[in-house]
Structure formats: structure tokens, C-alpha cells
Chains A and B, each alone.
Chain A
Amino acid sequence: MPPRSLGTAVAVAGLLLAAWSLVPVIRNRPPGRTHFVGLILVQALVVAETLVAVGHLAGGAHPREYVTFIGYLVALFILLPLAMLLARLEPTRWGAVIVLIAALVVPVLVLRVNQLWSGGA
């Protein structure tokens, strides 16, 4: 069984960050300190989710589409740091759009990881 509550926490955190990023997008402002702090907080949850997943694999689990599962984990792990770099380069409203999109992709990746978590089904 995938860590449902952790997965939900990551997904909800991503959605909250996306909603919060909408403010500077609408007000035509660059992303602020709170958005970068938000990115770090969501990434902390992502790290927790990734560690649980790695432990799951280390415990001998064999998810459906094993390699793809790892691919999603890697993507999940690097997504927000890369988005942060890119958003820092773009101190305009479009930087906030970058944070927004990356934050929206987090729940999608978490969903896919959880779908592939156990074999079969």
C-alpha cells in the first residue's frame, strides 16, 4: 500500500503552493520570499515521500513498471529545485507562473507514483 496520507499531504501542499502563486501572477508581481519558502516546504514533503518509496524498493518491493516508477520518483525529486532555479532567473510575473506550473505537476507525479506503487492492479 502506498503511503496514502503522506501522498495526500504532498499533493495538497503542491496545490496550496499553486494557489498561493496565483496571487503574484494575477497582480503582475514576481514570486516573493513566501513562494520560495513554500517551494522548500513542499520539497521537504517530496523528499519524505521519495525516501519512503526508496525504502519500499529497498524492502524488495516490485512496483508495476519498475523502471517507470523510478523515473517518476526522479522527476518528482528534481522538479521543484529546477523550477526554483528557473523562477529565480525570472523575477517577473512569469517566474510566478513557473512556480505555479511546477506546483501543479507535483500532485500529478504523486498520483502516478501511488498508482504504480504495488504490483498488479
Chain B
Amino acid sequence: MPERTAINTGPGRVLVGVYGLFALSATARATVQLATQFSHAPLAYLLSALSGVIYIVATVALARSYRRLALACCTVELIGVLVIGTASLVYPAAFPKATVWSVYGIGYGFVPLILPVLGLLWLSRSGTGRSGTGRTGRGRTGQA
């Protein structure tokens, strides 16, 4: 059995809570939007749904100490919030309705921007040594 790096205690537990909150709210919101008014802003609502799914996966990865998956989620989120945040400023017409990541998450107190940064910081500080979960042996190679 590979030993688990403890990324789900201490500050990690706080991250699990905040990610859980975002997973819940982003997913619920996206579900309502897609169900009731998909045609208004398909791109924005699909992005909301995507971000909701990523928050769910990140929550599970942090809670279960799937380190590599958590790293991937935080990275995707950070890229997402930066790209969508910038795009929503440059091409506002493409985003008639706000997403979680619009204008770098301004509708959510910029937490969507801060959260992946905190996540990456925590993941890089915690659990020295092993990377990944070692559960399958599949996946990318040679990550430190």
C-alpha cells in the first residue's frame, strides 16, 4: 500500500470545506440555468456546469488525498478563471450571463481566483515525498 500524503488535514480540511461549498453552489446554479434558460447563454452556462464539475472533483480529490488529481483540478481552475476572466472582459458579448469565472470570479468575491492559488500552495507545501496516489500506475510520467 502506498502511504498517503496527508493533504486532507489541517488547512487541507478548510480547503475541502470551501471547495465543497463551491461544488454545491456552482453545480446547483448551473443545473438551474441549463434546465430553465439554456438558450439565453449556452456558452456561459456550459462553463458554469464545467466549473461545477471541476469543483466536485477537486473536493473529492482533496478529501480523499488524491494528490495528483487535486493538482490537476487546481491547475485547470486557475487556468480557467484566468482565461474566462480575461475573455469576459475582452469579449463581453460572448458572456451575456455571468459564470462563476467571469471577471475573475467577481460575483463570488474573487474566491474562485484565490481558491486554486491556495490549493496549489497547500499541495506544494504538504506531503513531501510521494506524488500521486499510486493507485493505478497509469497516467503522466515523471512529475516531481
A interface residues (Cβ-Cβ under 8 A, vs B): 67-68, 71, 75, 79, 82-83, 86, 89-90, 92, 94-95, 97-98, 101-102, 105
B13→A89 contact, CB < 8 A: yes
Residues from chain B with a CB closer than 8 A to the CB of A97 are 11, 14
Residues from chain A with a CB closer than 8 A to the CB of B17 are 82-83, 86, 98, 101-102
- 6 A-B pairs in the complex with CB atoms less than 8 angstroms apart: A86-B13, A90-B13, A94-B9, A94-B10, A94-B13, A101-B18
How many pairs of A and B residues are in contact by the CB < 8 Å rule?
A: 41
Select B32's contact among A67, A75, A79, beta carbons within 8 Å. Answer: A67
A98→B14 contact, CB < 8 A: yes
Min Cβ gap A34→B in Å is 20
A interface majority secondary structure: helix
Min Cβ gap B40→A in Å is 13
Residues from chain A with a CB closer than 8 A to the CB of B9 are 90, 94
B89 interface residue, CB < 8 Å from A? no
Known: A68-B29, A75-B25. A92 touches B20 (CB 8 A): no
Q: CA separation between A67 and B35, bound complex, in Å?
A: 11
Q: CA separation between A68 and B28, bound complex, in Å?
A: 8
Q: Which residue of B lies closest to A102 (CB)?
A: B17
